[in-house]
Amino acid sequence: MKDSAADRVAQFVEDLLKGRRPRRFSATPEEAEAMSAAAGLAAARVGSDLPDKAALERIHRRLSERLDDSPAVDGRYSRRAWLRTVGTAAAAVVVGVAIDEAVTRRGSSAPTATEAEVLTPDGGQWRPVAALEQLPPGQAMTVSTAAMDVVVVNDGGQISAVSGICTHLGCKLQPDNADKRLACPCHQTAFSWTGKLLYYRLKSAPPDLPRIQSRVNNGQIELFV
Amino acid sequence: MGLIELRPGGRPEPDPEAAVYTDWESVYQDNVVGIYQLAFRRVGNAADAEDVAEEVLIRTLHTLRFPAAVHNVRAYLVKTARSVLADHWRRHYAAQNAVVELEQVPAPGLAGPPNSVASERAQRMLALLPDQFRRVLELRFLRGYSVREVANEMGVSEANARVLQFRALRKAATLEQEVLR
């Protein structure tokens, strides 16, 4: 059975999304067009388009072999040098992806996934914090209660809430709606809307953000705080 | 310890017009991430992006004479990237006129924050798509649904989901060119 154009492009997309080098084939102009758009979209996933340390090491080593009269001492690339290269350029280190589905990337190491803890304060109760209509889909807002700062998120109609305080040193996180993340201004750490750690430039990975119980009741967003 | 470790921390760049590179290491260090990101946006996977980035750097560095002005080197890197990427599509997918309209890269540096360019472009492009097309691409690319899951979600067969995906990507390709202009 011959594959259709849609099937061939679907296989190409599948390879990209699985982080594999896609199979080569002779594409029609229409297919190539679609595949090129697919490549652009695959790059739009948070964290996908930064090289990992191993990739930079390989590029550096091969450049040394092909260019250098005085080859690099041992061809290795220290973590600090990597941080500097990636850091100066991108100010972030990829450790995961924003979408919760894992995206496999050659040589990359995702942080060990730990189920985010749910923060349930002693003596907490359901308190309304905002009208649902104040928080349109695709937006996050910070809510301060007496006890804590909380970021409430409307992701496509689904309301959720996480602690609004960075798990590293307690800086207040800033919601970034465009990229659906919460950024820490102190050390460039970033979390997804679900509280998962996305980037950090620290010696060790800070924990994911605790989740806060939330619900919608009569058009009001309520948090258990 | 690699050579890079020995470099002093800050590269002095008092006047961007006057800044020069004096060795390949500094060209590499300044630009490798930006070139990789640029390549990734056009090939969509890490393995190919790595190969393309390496090829762009090697071709550029072979022809450079040091000292070389930073802004010249960067312009040349982008030009080379365009040609390496066109080769990539031609060689691997027989795509003759693979449009490699690289976006203009702003002078101060080739690297941006991760995904900023790609996701901003994707968002603009998705916003312009008809509902069905936008939905299939969002589910598949941004939410990581499998074709089967997309089919279930949208109430169509898997074969139809693949066709829908193909059409949506073709539409996206035409929109992307408009968005890039």
Cβ of A10 under 8 Å from any chain B Cβ? yes
Candidate from B34, B54, B140 with C-beta closest to A63: B54
A142 pLDDT tier (thresholds 50, 70, 90)? confident
Candidate from A24, A26, A78 with C-beta closest to B5: A78
Cα distances (Å, whole numbers) of residue B118 to A164, A166, B51, B54, B180: 27, 27, 19, 21, 11
What is the rounded distance in angstroms from the CA atom of residue A180 to the CA atom of residue B61?
A: 38
The least confident of A27-36, A73-82, A176-185 is: A73-82
Candidate from B33, B159, B176 with C-beta closest to A90: B33
**Chain B residue closest in CA terms to A22:** B45
pTM exceeding 0.80:
no
Interface of A with B in 13-42 (CB under 8 A): 13-17, 19-22, 24-27, 29-42
- To the nearest whole Å, the CA of A11 is away from the closest chain B CA by 9
Q: What is the mean pLDDT of chain A?
A: 76
Q: Which residues in chain B are contacts of A20 at CB distance < 8 A?
A: 45, 47
Using the predicted structure, report yes or no on whether residue A110 has a pLDDT greater than 70.
no
Of residues A167 and B145, the one with the higher pLDDT is B145
Using the predicted structure, report yes or no on whether residue A72 has a pLDDT greater than 60.
no
- To the nearest whole Å, the CA of A123 is away from the closest chain B CA by 37
A80 pLDDT tier (thresholds 50, 70, 90)? low
Using the predicted structure, report yes or no on whether residue A91 has a pLDDT greater than 60.
no
Using the predicted structure, report yes or no on whether residue B4 has a pLDDT greater than 50.
no
Q: Which residues in chain A are contacts of B109 at CB distance < 8 A?
A: 89
Of residues A81 and B148, the one with the higher pLDDT is B148
Hey, what are A221's tokens? Answer: 């967003």
Candidate from B33, B140, B166 with C-beta closest to A85: B33
A11: CB partners within 8 A, 6+ apart? A3, A22, A23
A97 pLDDT tier (thresholds 50, 70, 90)? very low
What is the rounded distance in angstroms from the CA atom of residue B165 to the CA atom of residue B147?
A: 9
Cβ of A216 under 8 Å from any chain B Cβ? no
Hey, what are B121's tokens? Answer: 């472009």
| pLDDT at residue B8, as a whole number | 37
Q: Which residues in chain A are contacts of B176 at CB distance < 8 A?
A: 37, 40
Q: Which residues in chain B are contacts of A89 at CB distance < 8 A?
A: 30, 33-34, 109-111
Report which listed range, A16-20, A68-72, A175-179, is most confident: A16-20
Interface predicted TM-score (ipTM) of this complex, two decimals? 0.85
User: Which residues on adjacent β-strands are paired with residue A175?
Assistant: A182
B95/A29 CB distance under 8 A: yes
| pLDDT at residue B165, as a whole number | 98
Q: Which residues in chain A are contacts of B58 at CB distance < 8 A?
A: 62-63, 66-67
Model pLDDT for residues B43-59, shown as the tens digit of each residue: 999 999 999 999 999 99
What is the rounded distance in angstroms from the CA atom of residue B57 to the CA atom of residue A68?
A: 13
Interval B23-44 mean pLDDT: 91
B115: CB partners within 8 A, 6+ apart? A43, A44, A45, A46, A47, A48, A49, A179
Of residues B122 and A96, the one with the higher pLDDT is B122
Interface of A with B in 68-87 (CB under 8 A): 68, 72-78, 80-81, 84-86
| pLDDT at residue B110, as a whole number | 57
| pLDDT at residue A103, as a whole number | 33
Interval A72-80 mean pLDDT: 45
A186 pLDDT tier (thresholds 50, 70, 90)? confident
B122/A17 CB distance under 8 A: no
Candidate from A67, A73, A101 with C-beta closest to B61: A67
| pLDDT at residue B101, as a whole number | 58
Using the predicted structure, report yes or no on whether residue A120 has a pLDDT greater than 60.
yes
Interval A10-19 mean pLDDT: 95
Report which listed range, A197-211, B85-99, B145-159, is most confident: B145-159
Dihedral pair phi/psi, residue B28, rounded to 5°: -60, -55
Percent of chain A with pLDDT over 90: 28
Using the predicted structure, report yes or no on whether residue A24 has a pLDDT greater than 90.
yes
Cβ of A58 under 8 Å from any chain B Cβ? yes
| pLDDT at residue A156, as a whole number | 87
A25/B93 CB distance under 8 A: yes
| pLDDT at residue B176, as a whole number | 76
The least confident of A54-58, A201-205, B2-6 is: B2-6
B157 pLDDT tier (thresholds 50, 70, 90)? very high
Contact A19, A106 (CB under 8 A): yes
- To the nearest whole Å, the CA of A46 is away from the closest chain B CA by 6
| pLDDT at residue B107, as a whole number | 39
Contact B88, B79 (CB under 8 A): no
B115/A67 CB distance under 8 A: no
Cα distances (Å, whole numbers) of residue A127 to A83, A145, A193, A217: 43, 10, 21, 10
